[in-house]
Structure 1
Amino acid sequence: MILRFLLFLCALANSSVHTCPRQCSCSFAEVECGDIATMTSFPVDALPSNTTVLSIWSTQISSLEASHLNTLPFLNKLNLYSNKLEKLPSDLLRNASWLSSLDLTGNQIVRLPPGVFSQKSLRNLVLKNNRIEQTDAEWFDDDSNLIWLDLSGNRLSEIPVNLFQKLKHLEHLDVSDNNLADLHPDALKNLYHLDILNLAGNKLSTLTPTAFSHNQKLSRLFLQENHFRELPPSLLLGPQNLQMLLLNQNQLQHLPAGLLDGRNSSFQLILSANPWLCDSKMEYLWRWLNEHSQNVFYLEEVTCAGPEPLKNRQVVSLSESELGLVR
């Protein structure tokens, strides 16, 4: 590996930039081609052979082949934002042995073939804002080294259990702004290194008590803008070191006793825009908010939706008698 890296550095040092695609800009090992409405095909013939970072955005490019990358043996980062790509070949990364980051944000991809992301060097993959309806475990090899996966802004209605079995090194997972109505109890079971999980902007209404029990390294969890009406008391027992939890813009009326217990002083929480019902079942959250007000963003927006006499009152401002706790 060390020898290979030294050869790589030597090749870069000895390579000279003789060409640059028309309307693009080229600096040492980096090429940018942006906002070019007349570009309809990948500029394969004019790219410097020593390119390590290639960014092409806002063009009319609709297809990409493995052969297009053959002339870029040292390519490490490929950004293809907001183009017209609809599909990718299964052998796309066959010879891209140095590629560690691939960003395909804002294209028109609906389906992807098996093996398309099987390159072992790939560590960061962004498929944000496409039209993907289904994920497939066969996109990846069994020994994938992926640590970052962004599938946000697509049309996913479910996540197959076997998808993440091949992504055991994953640290960042974003599936926000899809159509997920359910999360299989074992969907995240093999993600022992998961640090950031974004499930915001879906249609989730419930989670199993063990949904995150295997994700003990989870530090940030985004559950806002879903349809949650209640949460299991043991939901956060797995990720004991959770630093941030967003639950705003759901349908929560109460939080179960014990849900937020054991959080450290740096824990951050957002609870606004929920229809909190300020009755005796609010006791746990009311006491927690009063004891940990410094941990809550937008505390003043955590207000009662009912009963009518308490409507729009800040939860922390209530008394025991108003909550019906005085016996």
Structure 2
Amino acid sequence: MKSWCVLAFLWLAYFCPGTQSCPVLCKCYHRRAEVVCHEVLLTEYPSEGLPSNTTMLTFQFTNITSISEQHLSATPMLQELHLYANHLRSLPSHLLRGVPQLSTLDLTENKLSELPADVFSHAPLRSLVLKNNLIVKADAEWLPDNSSLTWLDLSGNHLTKTPTALLQRLPHLDNLDLSNNRLEKISANSFDSLTKLERLNLQRNKLDTLDASVFQSTRNLTYLFLTRNKLNNLPQNLFQELTQLKHLSLDDNQLSHIPAGLLDPLKSLDEEGLDLSDNPWLCDKNMEYLWRWLQKNKKKVFLPETTICAKPQPLAGRSVMSLTESELILQS
């Protein structure tokens, strides 16, 4: 009889969520070891009631302002922690010491500005998202040397310089997002250690030019986003090593010309993989290289008819594709 009681209890514990603990204002999905707390009334991290076997934990749209190493230690099997759109203003050092299996940490849209050393140490993180915070400087001490990180999102912060020292600790990184910051210049060696990088997003910054050697080590890049900067001058050999590139966005910059040969290494561009629109192109004799390249590679350009002459006046509003060789020569 006792054995039947034990079996009945185990059956209820497994198949009936209500029989297991779960914090107030949270939902626990016991069969997949997931907890979701989605409630503005939640003001403090629920220290009690979280199932100890939780592997995925989400706090979103709450009024939680702090989180500690002790809080996370209650769920030692945690693999994913999503802290989206809360009110976190700071994080403690050694935050992840109690979650040695954590691989994904998302801190999107909080109020984080300065973070201490070792804040992201002690866990084998592969994905770290710090999007839409108030971070001015990303320090190397956040992470250990030779970090296992493959995905880093620092978009939507207040960075004015590329975090070169931090990037040197991330040899396995394949996705880096620095978009929507205040970057005015990128150091020549910023990406030298990122030999496995495949996707780089630099759009919506304040870059007016790029060093000729900045992409010399990122030979595995397949996606490069440079939209909405202030680029007005590009070095001739800028893309020399990017023979694997499939997508390049140069739209919405200040380009009037590009140097002869700039696009020649880009043999792997996808169909519609290059965007050149919304630039003030000057259609004179110096436009001949781009004009000829477009004639041969029309299918690789996204909406080629939107690559339009801004000057000189007789050609203003005309697509570069529509020009004739004699028109370019006449405007020299």
TM-score after normalising by structure 2: 0.91
Compute the RMSD of aligned alpha carbons.
1.5
1:234 aligns with 2:246: no
1:292 aligns with 2:297: yes
Deviation for aligned residue 1:299: 1.3
Aligned equivalents of 2:197, 2:133: Cα separation in 1: 24
Deviation for aligned residue 1:160: 3.8
Amino acid at match of 2:24: R
From the CA coordinates, give the structure whose radius of gyration is larger: 2
Deviation for aligned residue 1:95: 1.5
Deviation for aligned residue 1:43: 1.3
* Contact map agreement 2:96 2:122 (CA 8 A) in 1: yes
Aligned equivalents of 1:315, 1:264: Cα separation in 2: 21
The answer for the alignment partner of 2:83 in structure 1 is 80
Deviations 1:62-90 (A, max 9, x none): 00000001111110000000000000001
Aligned equivalents of 1:115, 1:175: Cα separation in 2: 21
Structure 2 residue matching 1:44: 3-state secondary structure: coil
1:69 aligns with 2:72: yes
- Select which of 321, 328, 331 maps to 1:323: 328
Amino acid at match of 1:25: K
The answer for the alignment partner of 1:32 in structure 2 is 36
Amino acid at match of 2:214: A
The answer for the alignment partner of 2:92 in structure 1 is 89
Amino acid at match of 2:97: R
Structure 2 residue matching 1:23: 3-state secondary structure: coil
* Contact map agreement 2:97 2:123 (CA 8 A) in 1: no
Deviations 1:282-310 (A, max 9, x none): 01111111111111112121100000000
Matches of residues 144-155 of structure 1 in structure 2 within 5 Å? Answer: 144-155=147-158
The answer for the alignment partner of 1:187 in structure 2 is 190
Amino acid at match of 2:79: N
Aligned equivalents of 2:28, 2:123: Cα separation in 1: 28
1:219 aligns with 2:190: no
1:143 aligns with 2:143: no
Aligned equivalents of 1:83, 1:103: Cα separation in 2: 11
- Select which of 43, 48, 63 maps to 2:46: 43
Deviation for aligned residue 1:143: 2.3
Deviation for aligned residue 1:266: 4.2
Deviation for aligned residue 1:25: 1.7
Aligned equivalents of 1:120, 1:50: Cα separation in 2: 17
Deviation for aligned residue 1:204: 0.5
Matches of residues 236-275 of structure 1 in structure 2 within 5 Å? Answer: 236-264=239-267, 266-267=269-270, 268-275=273-280
1:167 and 1:325, CA in 2 relative to 1: closer, same or farther beyond 3 A?
Answer: farther
The answer for the alignment partner of 2:283 in structure 1 is 278
* Contact map agreement 2:245 2:268 (CA 8 A) in 1: no
Structure 2: give runs of 5+ residues left out of the alignment.
1-12
1:247 and 1:326, CA in 2 relative to 1: closer, same or farther beyond 3 A?
Answer: closer
Tell which deviates more after alignment, 297-306 or 146-155.
Answer: 297-306
Aligned equivalents of 1:145, 1:164: Cα separation in 2: 12
Aligned equivalents of 1:125, 1:168: Cα separation in 2: 15
* Contact map agreement 2:232 2:254 (CA 8 A) in 1: yes
Amino acid at match of 1:20: C
Deviation for aligned residue 1:238: 1.6
The answer for the alignment partner of 1:7 in structure 2 is none
The answer for the alignment partner of 1:301 in structure 2 is 306
1:207 aligns with 2:210: yes
The answer for the alignment partner of 1:53 in structure 2 is 56
* Contact map agreement 1:120 1:145 (CA 8 A) in 2: no
The alignment of Structure 1 onto Structure 2 pairs a total of residues equal to 312
Deviation for aligned residue 1:237: 1.1
* Contact map agreement 1:265 1:295 (CA 8 A) in 2: no
Structure 1 residue matching 2:61: 3-state secondary structure: strand
Amino acid at match of 1:281: N
Structure 2 residue matching 1:297: 3-state secondary structure: coil
The answer for the alignment partner of 1:125 in structure 2 is 128
Deviation for aligned residue 1:159: 1.9
Deviations 1:123-150 (A, max 9, x none): 1000000000111011111121000000
Structure 1: give runs of 5+ residues left out of the alignment.
1-14
* Contact map agreement 2:185 2:209 (CA 8 A) in 1: yes
Aligned equivalents of 2:68, 2:141: Cα separation in 1: 19
Residue identity (%): 48
1:173 aligns with 2:196: no
* Contact map agreement 1:120 1:144 (CA 8 A) in 2: no
* Contact map agreement 2:118 2:143 (CA 8 A) in 1: yes
Aligned equivalents of 1:326, 1:154: Cα separation in 2: 44
Deviations 1:3-51 (A, max 9, x none): xxxxxxxxxxxx96611122222112011111x1210011121111111
The answer for the alignment partner of 2:25 in structure 1 is 23
Amino acid at match of 1:150: D
